[in-house]
Structure formats: structure tokens, C-alpha cells
DNA sequence: CATGAATGAGACTTCATTCAT
DNA sequence: TATGAATGAAGTCTCATTCAT
């Protein structure tokens, strides 16, 4: 499947590459089409935002017939939901991988913030997609921000953070990070952007300036850094 | 196909009456239809977001025929742009009125942040509209954030703020404020929400905790506080 | 309007005739498009039945753009409803015109039945449309059958009819008439078909054979007999 | 593309069990999938009408894959046709069973009419399906009405009926019966509904009132009365 | 034969935009 | 300028049908 010629339009190279790779591995099931659709949707988000995701365009991007989408999703809303959730899970895991052996909440948070900012610098298109999802997909926040909440609580216990309201602090972290990503998408990037943002966030959460700067500018960990 | 600007022509009586209520500025006297349309658009934003602004609906909300819109705007995009710009100007003036006699950058900034958060608490629908505009209207940020930029520079000169990059700081202030508004729109409000956010922002900009708290929690000024 | 060329398809002759006639008379309003749509819908009913009424086909038949339909009807359902109601009203008036000076219920009923059967013989396509509407449009029955109900009651008062249940009798009259029309649409027509059916109906309602035959075969009245 | 008939191949166990419940006729033993599909279709007719029969839904109702349908039917039209024919045959046999030892045409006809009306009262959903089939399936009438035609002729020979045209009479009987069923489906049922309708029909066919009433109200015969 | 993913034509509906009045 | 009927492209969704497995 996904190989049926499709009178739609010649495939963009990255699609050929992608679909060419996947059939190689002997995945058992054919329902990988769903994943293909989600990935295609993210590419469109990157270009035009979720608001303008047209299902026939998605079908074209995925090299699939328009009706096929409805074998995997009940409605357009359902597609947006699923894409948001999928992205949230993927990003959660990426950040988790980088903070497996970090036990200090402030450090964990810093790494999380920096990961997103670094990735935005590296791939602004990806950042556009993520920002879209943050603003629109309901399931996204709840799925992704639980990690942030845990790090905040850890930071409080460890005496690094002081804030009056956890939800307000949570929104602060998320929106400041997303705001930095937006700046980058809009074409502006500062030197050490990721560290600058992390420092501001840590300070905002109540950490003294010196400590905040120290943590925010610590070497970024290895791991599977940020490979989309 | 139809001119763009024009604030010249007499309107139906009920429109004159309606716009007469809005003493925003001393326009000539007739043809404030354009302003009427913008205000109507904002009401629709508040209800449904700008993404879903339908021009037919706008015409109905404004009590005007659908074709009339094209006597004042070239296209739907043009309407969105104009609404964003108008909102930015209006909000700038509101904040300016409150900070006319405040000379300290940090205080000015704090008041600005708190104004938006307070207003969001008071009128979440309005906040929805503003958030929509922040995310979508291109001209909006540049028009509104120049005040913020000035306050930032003032704060640096006065030794209150320390940040490595002004643009990053600017984005930080705006996104943290918008993030708090989003939280409120989503139904969560903390006690003294406006002060909490202002404090976080000031700290993030490099102000020591005690000072930040002191300024952020100072009495909110009088004036024409925030009357939509 | 309705003259805008329409890149759709050359008009069938009867459409040209129809639209050619209407603009002649100086009708004031342009919203006769609604009537045009209803008439076009009836032509499609005649060919394919209501079930298969496709709105783009309706637009084509009416020589109108597909979106225009939605200036007059909220949805496809609404179109079907309106067509049914319109037809019911039209038919009611036709029958009323023929029975203005007939005071005997049995006679009135006989004329009604015969009118439908005669018209079906004359224009089986029209009959197809009517049958479709009888079976599917909810508003149709209630609008049209009130006349029948009145005639039934009159017949009972005048001692011509005897039946145990009025609703059952009403259904009997309507379905027997519609059944005869179906027969005709299917290609079979008997001599004096209208009289035969009327006689059966009158008998079924309790009228003795002689009287029934006499009334059912009475000369059909003048008037504006049945000109669609 | 795939053969049409075939009642040859073994089915999944649950299907065999299911069809085993239907001892309609002594088919070989396997592959009553076709019959299963027809029965499933009738259940859907009862719920939603044949117009809305979706083949996907039919497949699900039958516990079969959508492609399988095409091993037994050439197209959706073919399914509808087959369902109509099957229902006609089944109903014919039900009525036949009840009139095996009845030799008077008027009585046979009365029993037939009453059977349908009684069954409609008992199971309006079933009646919906039958009405749908009467209106839409072409093969249905010819298959079912031959019995009615025979009874009509018998009634004429026996001096009970008098009508000018057999086809008109036939349509009269069928449509009056179907009309009564429609009334019932629409929610109205009279006391002794079946007898009332039979009496009207007999009278309409020319039988004097007393005799008609007597026959129409005769005790309804035993047998396998009407068990779907 | 059975499966069910894929197809793609076509249906309904919305809405920005045009234009004659 | 104001009107609002008309337009038609575009979008969402359904469903009969095909075909590789």
C-alpha cells in the first residue's frame, strides 16, 4: 500500500525517501499508514500551520487517496488530535532520554527548555509545527507538561524554585519556551539562545541569578540529542 | 475594485448611533463603518477566534451588507490585519494612560503585564481575541511591543534589568504574559494572578527577588484602568 | 440572474422556455430563483426520484451555481421539505378550484381522486414526482390530506360513507390513489382509469355499488382542469 | 469478477451456527452466506430503509468482510434486487401456508391483506422494510402479486368480485394494504385494523357491504401465523 | 473464497469575492 | 457607496468497488 500509483502528483523527494525506507524493514502490519499520515501532517503543519491542514492536501502529501484518511481517523478533528498526541509523546521521550540520569529538577527543566530551543534553531519548520500544536491541540499540553510539572515540584523540594502557584509557573515555563521558539521561527536567533531562555525561566521560577546562569549554561548532555 | 480607506460617507442612522458610543478618537463624523467593522470583528474573535471569522458573519454582526466590507478592505486578510493593528493601538494607549507618570522601566513593564492579566481575568472572551491576534496578526506585535522595548531599555539603563539579548527578552515578556492569559482563558485563575506573573517576568529579566516582588505587588494605578 | 451564462452545460429546451417566459412578466423580485429551484427539483423527481436528488444536479438543472441553492435553503433536507410543501399547496389549489361549487363529500372526493389519476395519465413524469413526494416528504401529507379528511367527514354526515376509523379511511383513499398512479407510471393504463379508481375508493368507503359508479363516472368538471 | 450464485463453500463456525437457525429450505449445508447477507440486509432495512443500505454496514451486520459481499452479488443494485425477491418469496409462502385449505377467493384475499396488516402491527420495523421493498425493488411485485391475481380471478369466478380491469384491481389491493402498513409504521393503529382494511378492500372490489364485513372479520386462521 | 486497506468519484456544504442595481 | 444574489473553488466526508494477500 502507499505504492498504488496515485494520479495525484509526483512525490516530493522526502516522501519517496521515507516511504522507500519503511517497506524495507519487515514491519508486520500495513497499518503503518496511520503513522505515515501523522508524519505527513506534521510536514504540513511546518509549512502552513494546523489551521490550514486540508485533508485532501494531507492525502496528497502522504501519497494516499483522500478516502484512505478515513480508514484511520474519524474526522478532521480526530486527525489533529492524533497528530498532537503523537508529537507530544515523541517529544516527551526525546527529553526523557536526555534527562535519564539527571536528578536535580532545575537541571532537568533547563535541559528540557534548551532542547526545544536548540531544536527550533536547528529546524525552524519543525518548531512551527510544534508551536501550532501547543496552541491548538488540547491533548498535547496535558500529555507533555506532566514532565514539566514533575520537574517543577522536584525543584521546589530541592529548594531551587519558589513560586506561589504551580499552574501559573507551569504556564510560565511552557509559554516562555514557546515564545522563544516563535522568535526563532520568525527569523531571529541569538547566540546561545537556548541558554538565555533557560536562564530567564529559572530566574523567573525564583532561582538566584548566579545559580540560574550556572545551570542554564551547563554543557548540554549527550544521548540521542535531537534527531527528529 | 473599490478604494481601500475612506472614512467619508454617511451611514444609516443606527450605525451613527452605534459608533457614537465609541469616542475612541475624534474622527470626522461619518463613515466610521470601517471602525464598526473592526469592532464587530473583535466581538467575533472573542466568541469564535479569528480563524473562524467569516465575512458574512462579520457583515451581519456589523449590520452591514456583505459587499460593503469590500469598500473598506481589500480582502479577508486585510480585515484581519487591520483588526490586529487596531487592537494593538488601542491596547498601547490603554497601557500608556496608566503609565503616564511612571518613570521606572521595571514599574512600567510590571504595570503593562498586570494590565493584560487583570483584563484577562475580568473578560476572558476579550483575552481570547487578544491571544488570537497575538498569534496570527503579523502587524500586531511590532505595533504593540515597541512600548515594551522602550521599557526594557529604560530598565537596563536604571540598573534593574540584565539580559544578554533584547529581542529574546522582549519575546520572553510577551510570551509569558500571553501564556498567563491563555491559562486564564482555559479556566484557571490564581489569587493575585497579575502580580505573580509580573514578578516572574521581572525576575526573569534579571531583577533580584525582593525587588521584583515589591514592584510586582505594588498597588495598581488608577486612571481609566481597563475598560474595554 | 439565472441568466449568468453558467459553464455547466447547455440547457434543455424546457428550461430555456421556462426561464424565457418568467423574466418577461415584470415580477418585482429576484428571489424567484427559489421557485425556479423548486420547479427544477420536481423535474428531477420525475426522472429519478427524490432519493437521488443531488444538489449539484439540481443546480445544473436550474442553470444556477451550486452555492446559490444555499441562498434559499439551509440544507438538502430543507430543499426536499420545501419542494414537498410547494407541491402540496399547488395540488390542493388545483383540486379546490375544481370543487368550488361541489357540496357533496363523495363527489368532491371522487373529483379529487380522478384529478390525480387523470393527471398521471396525462403526465406520468409528473406522477412519478408526486408519488415520490407522497412517500417521502413529511409535510406533504398533512398539507394535502386535510382536504381529503374534510371531504370524508362531509360524506359521513351526508350518509354516503361508513367507516369505522377516519384515519384508516384517509390512508385508504390516499394510498389507493397513489397506487393507481404508480400503475400508470409503470406503463399500464385502463380505459376510464380515473373513474375505475374513484369507484373502488367510494365503494371501499361504504357507498353502495350503484351510487358509487354513478358518482365516479359523472362528467369531470371544467375549470382550470389540470394544467401543471 | 467473482461468480454470482454459489451456495457451496464452508463458512466460519459462527455463521454455520447462525444460518442453522433458519430452516427455511433444505439447502445443501454450507455457504448460506448469501442468505445470511439477505437477512442482514432486511434487518438494516427495518432500521434505516433500503435507501440507506450501506454495504460496509451490511458486511458488519452480517459479520463478514466488505469484499465478501462481492462474491455473492455483482453490485449494490444486485443486493437490493435479491433482497426484494427473497422477501417476496418468503411472504408468499407465509400467506400460502395460511390459505392452503381456503377455496374462496375473497376469503383468501382477505386473509392475505390481514396477514400483512397484522404483521405490521406486531412488528412495525418489519413493515418498514416491506414497504421499502414494495416501493423500490422491481422484482418484488411480480413475485408477490401473482397470488393476489389468482385470488382476484377466483373471486370473480365465484361471483364475489366485480371490477372492470384486473390490473387496476390488483394495484388497488396492493396499494391499499401497503397504505395501511404505512399508517401503522407512522404510529397509528386502529382496533381491528386488519379487518377494517380487508373490508374496505373487499368492498372496493365490488363485494356488498354485509358479505365483505362478514368475511373480513372472520376468525383469522391458525397455521404458522406470522413469525418472521 | 475471505479479508480489509485502498481507491476515487461524488455528495453536501461553506465562504471569500464579484457585480448589477 | 450600499446591497445581497450569485458565483465557484475548495473542503469535509461517504461509500461502492477493487485487489493483493
Tens of pLDDT along chain C (228 residues)?
Answer: 333 333 333 333 333 344 444 443 334 456 689 999 999 999 999 999 898 999 999 999 999 999 999 999 999 999 999 999 999 999 999 999 999 999 999 999 999 999 999 999 999 999 999 998 998 877 787 878 999 999 999 999 999 999 999 999 999 999 999 999 999 999 999 999 999 999 999 999 999 999 999 999 999 997 654 444
Angle between helices C166-185 and C138-157 (to 10 degrees): 120
Predicted pLDDT of residue D141:
80
For residue D223, pLDDT over 70 is answered with no
Cβ atoms within 10 Å, residue D222: 7
The answer to whether some atom of strand E lies closer than 7 Å to the beta carbon of A189 is no
Q: Which three three-digit cell numbers place residue D91? A: 411472504
> A110-119, A210-219, B69-78, B127-136 — which is least confidently predicted?
B127-136
CA dihedral A175, A181, A187, A190 (to 10 degrees): 100
Q: Using CB atoms, pick whichever of D135, D164, D183 lies closest to residue C171.
A: D183
Q: Which three three-digit cell numbers place residue A164? A: 506561589
> C27-31, D34-38, D152-156, D164-168 — which is least confidently predicted?
C27-31
- D79 Cβ contact partners less than 8 Å away, ≥ 6 residues apart: D37, D41, D53, D55, D58, D69, D73
For residue B127, pLDDT over 70 is answered with yes
For residue A137, pLDDT over 90 is answered with no
The answer to whether some atom of strand F lies closer than 7 Å to the beta carbon of B3 is yes
Nearest CA in chain D to C173: D176
Predicted pLDDT of residue B135:
86
Q: Using CB atoms, pick whichever of C168, C190, C209 lies closest to residue D190.
A: C168
Phi, psi of C21 (to 5 degrees): -80, -45
Residue D186 DSSP one-character state? T
Q: What is the DSSP string of B184-223?
A: HHTT---TTHHHHHHHHHHHHTT--HHHHHHHHTSPPP-S
| Residue D3: burial class (beta carbons within 10 Å; 0-12, 13-18, 19+) | exposed
H/E segment holding residue B170: helix B166-185
- Contact status of B189 with chain A (Cβ, < 8 Å): no
Looking at per-residue pLDDT, the higher value among B2 and B175 belongs to: B175
Over residues D138-156, the pLDDT tens digits come to 778 887 899 999 999 999 9
SS3 B62: helix
Predicted pLDDT of residue C140:
80
Give contacts of C51 with chain D, Cβ < 8 Å. Answer: 51
User: Cα B209–B213–B219 angle (5° rounding)?
Assistant: 165
Predicted pLDDT of residue D144:
85
Predicted pLDDT of residue A223:
62
Taking alpha carbons only, the member of B141, B112, B137 closest to residue B41 is B137
Using the CA of A3, which nucleotide's C1' is the nearest one? E6
Angle between helices D33-48 and D124-136 (to 10 degrees): 100
Using the CA of A29, which nucleotide's C1' is the nearest one? E5
For strand E, give the nucleotides within 7 A of a protein CB: 1-20
Please indicate whether chains C and A are in contact, defined as at least 3 beta carbon pairs under 8 Å: no
Give contacts of D183 with chain C, Cβ < 8 Å. Answer: 167-168, 171
The answer to whether some atom of strand F lies closer than 7 Å to the beta carbon of C22 is no
Taking alpha carbons only, the member of D94, D98, D87 closest to residue D143 is D87
Q: What is the DSSP string of A194-211?
A: HHHHHHHHHHHTT--HHH
Q: Which three three-digit cell numbers place residue A188? A: 531571529
Q: Which three three-digit cell numbers place residue A11? A: 512525490
Chain B adjacent subunits, 3+ CB pairs under 8 A:
A
Residue B179 near residue A179 (C-beta atoms within 8 A): yes
Phi, psi of A75 (to 5 degrees): -160, 175
Residue whose grid cell is 465609541: B22
Q: Please answer yes or no on whether A179 and B180 come within 8 Å at the CB atom.
A: no
Predicted pLDDT of residue C30:
66
Give start and end residues of each alpha helix (H) in chain A. 13-21, 33-48, 55-62, 76-98, 105-122, 124-136, 138-157, 166-185, 193-204, 209-216
Predicted pLDDT of residue D17:
41
Distance CA A192, CA C27 (A): 75
Report the share of chain B in percent with pLDDT over 70: 84
Distance CA C124, CA C130 (A): 10
For residue B15, pLDDT over 60 is answered with no
Nearest CA in chain C to D175: C179
- Contact status of C136 with chain D (Cβ, < 8 Å): no
> B89-98, C68-77, D33-42, D64-73 — which is least confidently predicted?
B89-98
Predicted pLDDT of residue B198:
98
Q: Please answer yes or no on whether A167 and B175 come within 8 Å at the CB atom.
A: no
Tell me the average pLDDT across D200-222: 96
For strand F, give the nucleotides within 7 A of a protein CB: 1-20
Distance CA C21, CA B167 (A): 70
Q: Using CB atoms, pick whichever of A163, A193, A205 lies closest to residue B168.
A: A193
Q: Which of A8-17, C190-199, D47-56 has the highest mean pLDDT?
A: C190-199
Amino acid at each position: 500500500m502507499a505504492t498504488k500509483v496515485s494520479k495525484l502528483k509526483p512525490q516530493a523527494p522526502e516522501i519517496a525517501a521515507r516511504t522507500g525506507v519503511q517497506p524495507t524493514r519487515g514491519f508486520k502490519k500495513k497499518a503503518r499508514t496511520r503513522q505515515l499520515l501523522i508524519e505527513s501532517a506534521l510536514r504540513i503543519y511546518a509549512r502552513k500551520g494546523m489551521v490550514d491542514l486540508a485533508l485532501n492536501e494531507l492525502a496528497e502529501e502522504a501519497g494516499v487517496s483522500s478516502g484512505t484518511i478515513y480508514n484511520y481517523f474519524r474526522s478532521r478533528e480526530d486527525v489533529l488530535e492524533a497528530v498532537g498526541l503523537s508529537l507530544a509523546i515523541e517529544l516527551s521521550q526525546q527529553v526523557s532520554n536526555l534527562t535519564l540520569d539527571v536528578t536535580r529538577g532545575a537541571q532537568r527543566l533547563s535541559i528540557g527548555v534548551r532542547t526545544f530551543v536548540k531544536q527550533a534553531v536547528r529546524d525552524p519548520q519543525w518548531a512551527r509545527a510544534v508551536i501550532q500544536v501547543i496552541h491548538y491541540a488540547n491533548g498535547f499540553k496535558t500529555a507533555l507538561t506532566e514532565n514539566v510539572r514533575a520537574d517543577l515540584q522536584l525543584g521546589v523540594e530541592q529548594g531551587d524554585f519558589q513560586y506561589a502557584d504551580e499552574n501559573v509557573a507551569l504556564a510560565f515555563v511552557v509559554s516562555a519556551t514557546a515564545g522563544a521558539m516563535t522568535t526563532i521561527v520568525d527569523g531571529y536567533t541569538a547566540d546561545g539562545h537556548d541558554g538565555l531562555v533557560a536562564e530567564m525561566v529559572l530566574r523567573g521560577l525564583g532561582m538566584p541569578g548566579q545559580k540560574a546562569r550556572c545551570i542554564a549554561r551547563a554543557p548540554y548532555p549527550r544521548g540521542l540529542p535531537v534527531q527528529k
